[in-house]
Structure 1
């Protein structure tokens, strides 16, 4: 599918200097493991998702905050190199750009965040750019910006003509009534379980039940299942399971953000939620076969 004229996705989220340490196994309490030398680079859920959007050929713009430090300036350059518009990224004097440290092993991963300037993307910052967000086809919001920003962005989006996609990652405690305003709620199986108040399960039947429960208020819900695919409940339609092709997982870092970014881009170019989710499953699966997070993203195509 060619994109003759880009339709913008605005991403409200975090950006950080990310250090990814790939190890053979996650350390047990009191143990240490050895990682190879690494070069810190672009990271943060918002930045990753914006890059994923841009890699589809859809215009991507990031709303975020960085510090006026060398790391922040490097991130701006890297975002621009990926084709992400940084006109709404605010630079704060005296603040330090956020950092993240990710330990990745075949059995899973662990992440430590130092928010830094990301905490300055607050309610006032969203109001400052609300008029411009209202002109986008899709506003992509994720939980890393905190509950207050999530709530206010959803309230503002109720009056916007575009579609709001909320990636509740991590899950933030917000007014439950606001979920009715969300166009598409995107979560993984762990986040779905947290929102439903049930134990985490990787059983497809259990995930379908959680998706249906989350969609009870009439919105569309997508529950990603990692390398297994996704469950989709379009508004007022039957549940559907999108299975992924079997792929050897080399490095899962960034795959979830690739999934969300491609899904949002698909919606922006006019796909339905089912079609956009199927495209997101196909393209995100490609990233796990490559080592690295956002730097591993290939050019994503809508088949």
Structure 2
């Protein structure tokens, strides 16, 4: 079977990870245990996830002309990601994310830096990559104008477009008809639909998104797995896995990268969701967003261990 060809259009950040037993409250100072500088960014993370699974992966993005930019590019190259679509922006710092990691959970502040300089012109300059790919993956750590333009351009070539709407930002209605797979978490689903979590069901919000023109809506549920609105407008659940959590930073990116990879291989959405759930479970057992992305050999070994939770 030929390798799926994926293009990721998105952010590249240096993650400054502070490990601490206690996250400080307002006005409080606490002592941490460790600080690490780890290549990240949703776009770069998803690209590494796809490449480690065996996809021919390209990324379209932007870095600054600083030391972080060089490190980000080196990390991608080391993971066999094609970086010819990445531009260096002079006089601008690369994107960065400040991450507090405590008891296996995280709090994140993202500084876009050069990511804000990725424009529709950059999509046009890398049009050949869209023409040749199977799946295009998008997130929202780059300008919305560029995301909308890229989605339209990809659909004009008949490509499958997966949008991971994180971090949640207002989107124009025109984008939804150009999205094949939309993957919010529960908080993002509420943001895009006005869902009342105390009263409405996931089904209500997911149906609303389908009415806007999205074909497949998948809501990620953290350790519980994911929910999918099927062709009959019924919600189906894909359960999660019981694992020892080390770092959840790249879990969503592992899920989306694996989902795009599986769709690129020709898997149906339900089978692709099962695969994505498996990959994201393995990712959180290791430190670092990109460092935690598993290979196919690791996936096969983990699958034999039977760690799956009972269906929701």
**CA 1:172/1:225 → structure 2, altered by over 3 Å: closer, same or farther?**
same
Question: 1:237, CA displacement in angstroms?
Answer: 5.4
User: Which residue of structure 1 lines up, in the alignment, with residue 310 of structure 2?
Assistant: none
Aligned partners of 1:24 and 1:105 also within 8 Å: yes
**CA 1:200/1:109 → structure 2, altered by over 3 Å: closer, same or farther?**
farther
Q: Does 1:102 align with 2:99?
A: yes
Question: Matched residues in 1 for 2:230 and 2:125: separation?
Answer: 32
Aligned partners of 2:47 and 2:58 also within 8 Å: yes
Residue aligned with 2:266, SS: coil
Which deviates more, 34-43 or 263-272? 34-43
Aligned partners of 2:195 and 2:204 also within 8 Å: no
User: Which residue of structure 2 lines up, in the alignment, with residue 181 of structure 1?
Assistant: 178
**CA 1:286/1:20 → structure 2, altered by over 3 Å: closer, same or farther?**
same
Matches within 5 A, 1:42-191: 42-106=39-103, 108-191=105-188
Runs of 4+ in structure 1 off by over 3 angstroms are: 234-238, 300-303
TM, length-normalised to structure 2: 0.89
Question: 1:107, CA displacement in angstroms?
Answer: 7.5
Which deviates more, 134-143 or 150-159? 150-159
Query: Number of residue pairs matched?
Result: 298
Question: 1:60, CA displacement in angstroms?
Answer: 1.2
Question: Matched residues in 2 for 1:147 and 1:138: separation?
Answer: 19
Question: Matched residues in 2 for 1:218 and 1:75: separation?
Answer: 33
Which deviates more, 129-138 or 218-227? 129-138
1:209 to 204, 209, 226: 204
Q: Deviations over 1:197-222 (max 9, x none)?
A: 12456x9x823432233223351011
Question: 1:21, CA displacement in angstroms?
Answer: 1.4
Residue aligned with 2:132, SS: coil
Question: Matched residues in 1 for 2:169 and 2:151: separation?
Answer: 13
Matches within 5 A, 1:259-274: 259-274=255-270
Aligned partners of 1:146 and 1:172 also within 8 Å: no
Question: Matched residues in 1 for 2:191 and 2:2: separation?
Answer: 39
User: Which residue of structure 2 lines up, in the alignment, with residue 253 of structure 1?
Assistant: 249
User: Which residue of structure 1 lines up, in the alignment, with residue 189 of structure 2?
Assistant: 192
Q: Deviations over 1:108-157 (max 9, x none)?
A: 42212222111111122122223421321000011111221122112222
Gapped runs of 5+ residues in structure 1? Answer: none
Which deviates more, 289-298 or 11-20? 289-298
Question: Matched residues in 2 for 1:297 and 1:247: separation?
Answer: 15
**CA 1:240/1:297 → structure 2, altered by over 3 Å: closer, same or farther?**
same
Q: Does 1:292 align with 2:288?
A: yes
Matches within 5 A, 1:221-240: 221-235=217-231, 238-240=234-236
TM-align CA RMSD: 2.0
Residue aligned with 1:72, SS: helix
**CA 1:93/1:105 → structure 2, altered by over 3 Å: closer, same or farther?**
same
Aligned partners of 1:136 and 1:162 also within 8 Å: yes
User: Which residue of structure 1 lines up, in the alignment, with residue 276 of structure 2?
Assistant: 280
Gapped runs of 5+ residues in structure 2? Answer: 304-312
Question: Matched residues in 2 for 1:294 and 1:33: separation?
Answer: 27
